[in-house]
């Protein structure tokens, strides 16, 4: 399993279509954050939306790199996965920070 994970993580970046979808998701989560902030309910939305904004932006950045930057793309993908794992850990260990 270890060689397969490293093959997927450090694979060539997928290019424009994949990165546009991920950047679009990041912009969508940013819009949710800005809307909640403008309405005044940012306290209830901020913790979990920020994880998704950062995670999808890192993943989109990894996919938009040139094909010769496999290692940098892999590190950005790994960082995005780590952000989402931290969100899951926070959700299970301290749900009061996520769900208010």
**Percentage of the chain modeled with pLDDT above 70:** 75
User: Residue 9 has what pLDDT?
Assistant: 61
The Cα–Cα gap between 66 and 85 comes to 27
Q: Note the pLDDT tens digit of each residue in 60-91.
A: 888 888 878 777 888 888 899 899 999 899 88
Q: What average pLDDT does this structure show over 1-27?
A: 74
What is the chain's mean pLDDT, rounded? 80
User: Residue 27 has what pLDDT?
Assistant: 93
Residue 18: closest CA among 53, 62, 78, 50: 62
The Cα–Cα gap between 18 and 63 comes to 7
Structural domain boundaries in the chain:
2-97
Q: Which residues, including other chains, have CB under 8 Å from residue 31's CB and lie 6 or more apart? A: none
């Amino acid at each position: 399993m270890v060689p397969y994970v490293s093959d997927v993580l450090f694979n060539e970046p997928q290019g424009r279509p994949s990165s546009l979808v991920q950047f679009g998701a990041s912009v969508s989560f940013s819009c949710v954050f800005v809307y909640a902030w403008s309405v005044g309910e940012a306290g209830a939305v901020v913790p979990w939306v920020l994880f998704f904004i950062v995670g999808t932006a890192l993943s989109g950045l990894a996919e938009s790199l040139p094909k010769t930057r496999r290692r940098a793309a892999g590190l950005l993908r790994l960082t995005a996965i780590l952000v989402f794992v931290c969100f899951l850990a926070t959700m299970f260990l301290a749900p009061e920070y996520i769900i208010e």
